[in-house]
Chains A and B, each alone.
Chain A
């Protein structure tokens, strides 16, 4: 097991480096010379060259990359063009809110979808199964930014029982109803896609297990149905937990639209504001951090899953 962990960790290094290269390259995708945006359009060639030398943009690209990587590794992501504050501070301030939102959404999605999936998987082929499958398709087909607007229309505009956007304060207080109120709609919205995906995974995992021979043996031994189900669930759980973990990573990076609609002060909202103001350092830094979280989550899920079930170890 220890050797496997080391191998997986080493295998993740080139991926992480590749991700950092893509993030570094984002700056070069931006139209125009990066220096040009800092200078008046009539600046002469000598001034442009001096400024390029000042920012190190005249050096070979490989040198620039490693220089950037070194600074990023030390936590220096540059400064925001919009407000001049260090990018790392902006990210630190917002990341917790997104972790809270994504974590809660995945947990709620799991508790709903797992029950639905077990029901459907046990009764596969019946109308109950079709109903659950329908709910799952709906979950992955709904554009969540639209659902966000619809929920605001229903609960904020028409019924006026929940706030439409924002938060009650900078630091979240889980004991205060006033703070929780602001979380309800974003969490419901964000959990729609994972509900669909987790329900599907659970359904196929459970129905596969239910067709295995040991289930027949358990039944033949006269075990009550609920205890048969307990065994089936235990066997179906690892893949479902893995999907749940992957969904957490996906939501961390994918909450941008939902956060934008609800003005939820997380990393997605930060990203969306950076896009509007063309704030490339914030864009680059946030994307790098979110992608790295995704890489680490995937790795953690992989290790966790192989602890539960050594058969699925890769490479």
Chain B
């Protein structure tokens, strides 16, 4: 009896379109079976959590130095699991705290660039004409620098420091994000539903918000997520050159540079900060690729 009832369609839309998921439903469904993306998403969440909770997780004070405990190997005295650095500070604690600085240095510039570049691109794409030309030609100039060079040039001229490094990286990422936003907006702008919305007398603000932003946000965010890994590598690179975070703050790039002098004494400890950067950037890249594949409606 019960089976007969459930077989009777009650909702006409359900009958017409069986198992309709909607856009985000499809994305979620695809991601659920993408084990590689899920695995690296978990790794990424772990890295972020360990950075956030570093004060509770770190076994030692990351700034506490010791002359007699310098450059000890992994598992030293069963307390220093990842050994100690060139000033006798606990590596595990410094890597945990370093995650806070390095991740911030990588993520904040991408967020700033997404806001500024995305906005400029949407304005350029929607306005067209002279506005578009002015904005995009300025972007072309910054595009004419290799990204590493531009980051080094700006932060080098400004004199280093974590904040200057983040400003430099934001400036590096604004042009590519602006281009992605501009391309997406130009495509959407010429679609019929935007014309229809404007023809019905919808105010510009509403057309932009509902029809344009809603359709260009996906491509912009996917692109931005692919930049985070580049940003982390670049930010650590700046610190590595002495242009980013200043000692004694623990930053993965800075730690790598400081330990570079000790490769003859303690090679494994020296490689550690780079492994942290590598795991983070691989996870970020694969998660971004997975998201892109899942959100690609044409596939």
Footprint of B on A, CB under 8 Å?
14-16, 18-19, 21-23, 26-27, 29-31, 137-138, 140-143, 145-147, 149-150, 152-153, 157-158, 249-250, 252-254, 256-257, 260-261, 271-272, 274-276, 278, 280, 283-284, 287, 290-291, 294-295, 298
Contacts and interface: CB of A to CB of B under 8 A. Distances in A.
Given A146-B274, A157-B264, A253 B146 contact: yes
Contacts of B163: none
Interface residues of B, number: 45
Given A141-B281, A157-B263, A295-B144, 15 more contacts: A14-B137, A15-B144, A19-B141, A26-B154, A27-B157, A141-B285, A146-B271, A146-B273, A157-B267, A253-B145, A253-B148, A254-B149, A256-B148, A284-B157, A291-B144
B236 interface: yes
Interface in B130-152: 137-138, 140-142, 144-149, 152
Contacts of A276: 242
Given A157-B264, A256-B149, A18 B138 contact: yes
B268 to A, nearest CB: 9
30 contacts: A15-B141, A18-B137, A18-B140, A29-B158, A30-B157, A137-B289, A141-B229, A141-B282, A142-B278, A143-B237, A143-B278, A145-B256, A146-B277, A147-B274, A153-B263, A153-B267, A250-B147, A254-B149, A257-B237, A257-B240, A260-B241, A272-B241, A275-B243, A280-B157, A283-B157, A290-B146, A290-B149, A291-B145, A291-B149, A294-B149
Given A15-B140, A140-B285, A254 B242 contact: no
Interface string B194-213: 00000000000000000000
A257 B277 contact: no
Interface in B204-241: 229, 233, 236-237, 240-241
B288 to A, nearest CB: 10
B159 interface: yes
A280 B278 CA distance: 32
A272 to B, nearest CB: 6
Contact of B274 (A30, A149, A294): A149
Contacts of A298: 144
Nearest to A294: B146
Contact of B153 (A18, A283, A294, A295): A283
Instruction: Give the top 3 A-B pairs by smallest Cβ distance, nearest first.
Output: A146-B274, A18-B141, A253-B146
B170 to A, nearest CB: 14
B70 interface: no
Contact of A275 (B142, B149, B242, B282): B242
Which of A26, A145, A254 has the most chain B CB atoms inside 10 A of its CB? A145
Contact of B267 (A158, A252, A261, A283): A158
Nearest to A22: B141
B149 A287 contact: yes
Which of B145, B286, B289 has the most chain A CB atoms inside 10 A of its CB? B145
B270 interface: yes
Contacts of B241: 256-257, 260, 272, 275
B159 A278 contact: yes
A99 to B, nearest CB: 14
Contacts of A252: 146
B157 A26 contact: yes
A31 B264 CA distance: 38
Interface string B284-297: 01100100000000
Nearest to A275: B156
A275 B142 CA distance: 21
B69 interface: no
Contacts of A145: 237, 240, 253, 256, 274
B281 A153 contact: no
